A and B are shown apart, each in its own frame.
Chain A
Amino acid sequence: MSRPAAIIGVGQTKHAKARADLSIPGLCREAAGRALADAGLDWPDIEAVVIGKAPDAFEGIMQPELFLADALGATGKPMLRVHTAGSVGGSTVIVASHLVESGIHGRVLAVAWEKQSEGNAQWGLAGGRSGGIGAGGAFAPYIRAYMERSRAPEYIGWQVAVKDRLNALKNPYAHLQLADISLEKVKESPMLWDPIHFLESCPSSDGACAVVIGDEDAAAATPRPPAWVVATSVRSEPSTFPGRDAVRPQAGVDCAHDVYRQAGITDPKAQIDVAELYVPFSWYEPMWLEGHDIAGAGEGWKMVDSGETDLGGAFPVNPSGGVLSTNAIGASGMLRMAEAANQVRGQAGEHQVDGARVSLGQAYGGNAQYFAMAIFSSTRS
Chain B
Amino acid sequence: MLTGVTSSTGVANLIYRPTVPDSQTVTTTLEFPYRRSLGPVVGGFMRALGEHRILGVRTPAGEVLVPPLEYDPRTGAALEELVDVGPGGVVGSWAWVAAPTRRHPLDHPFAFALITLDGASTALVHAVDVAGEGAMRAGMRVVPRWRDEPQGRITDIEAFVPETGGQG
Contacts and interface: CB of A to CB of B under 8 A. Distances in A.
Interface of A: 18-26, 29, 33, 43-44, 57, 59-60, 70-76, 117-120, 123, 127-129
B36 A118 contact: yes
Contacts of B71: 25, 29, 70-71, 73
Given A22-B37, A26-B70, A72 B76 contact: yes
| Residue in B30, B32, B35, B41 whose Cβ sees the most chain A Cβ within 10 Å | B32
A59 B70 contact: no
A66 to B, nearest CB: 12
Contact of B32 (A23, A24, A128): A128
A268 B35 CA distance: 45
B29 to A, nearest CB: 8
B34 A118 contact: yes
Given A23-B70, A73-B75, A75-B74, A128 B37 contact: no
Contact of A18 (B37, B39, B40, B74): B37
A120 B34 CA distance: 8
A21 B73 contact: no
B36 A23 contact: yes
Contact of B39 (A26, A60, A74, A128): A26
B38 interface: yes
B51 interface: no
A211 to B, nearest CB: 17
B77 interface: yes
Contacts of B37: 18-23, 117-118
A25 B70 contact: yes
A60 B32 CA distance: 8
25 contacts: A18-B37, A21-B39, A23-B36, A23-B70, A25-B39, A25-B71, A44-B76, A60-B32, A60-B34, A71-B69, A71-B71, A72-B76, A73-B75, A73-B76, A75-B75, A75-B76, A76-B74, A118-B34, A118-B36, A119-B32, A119-B34, A127-B30, A128-B29, A128-B31, A128-B32
Contacts of B34: 59-60, 118-119
A74 B40 CA distance: 22
Nearest to A76: B74
A120 B32 CA distance: 9
B138 interface: no
A175 B100 CA distance: 44
A8 B35 CA distance: 35
A45 to B, nearest CB: 10
Given A44-B75, A71-B76, A119-B34, 4 more contacts: A26-B39, A29-B78, A76-B74, A118-B35
A23 to B, nearest CB: 4
A71 B41 CA distance: 13
B42 interface: yes
A43 B31 CA distance: 37
Nearest to A36: B76
Nearest to A75: B74
A70 B35 contact: no
| Residue in A23, A25, A74, A117 whose Cβ sees the most chain B Cβ within 10 Å | A23
B39 A23 contact: yes
A367 B23 CA distance: 33
A15 to B, nearest CB: 15
Contacts of A23: 36-39, 41-43, 70
Contacts of A43: 75-77
A128 B36 contact: no
Contact of B30 (A57, A74, A76, A117): A57
A247 to B, nearest CB: 32
Contacts of B73: 70-71, 75
A22 B38 CA distance: 6
A128 B78 CA distance: 36
Contacts of B70: 23, 25-26, 29, 71
Contacts of B39: 21-23, 25-26
B78 to A, nearest CB: 7
Interface string B33-75: 0111111111100000000000000000000000001110111
A156 B144 CA distance: 63
Interface string B65-93: 00001110111111000000000000000
B32 A123 contact: yes
A128 B37 CA distance: 22
Contacts of A120: 32
Given A18-B37, A20-B37, A21-B39, A70 B74 contact: yes
A90 B73 CA distance: 27
Nearest to B76: A73
Contacts of B32: 57, 60, 119-120, 123, 128
Contacts of B69: 25, 70-71
A43 B37 CA distance: 25
A294 B77 CA distance: 44
A284 to B, nearest CB: 28
Contacts of A44: 75-76
Given A18-B37, A22-B39, A70 B76 contact: yes
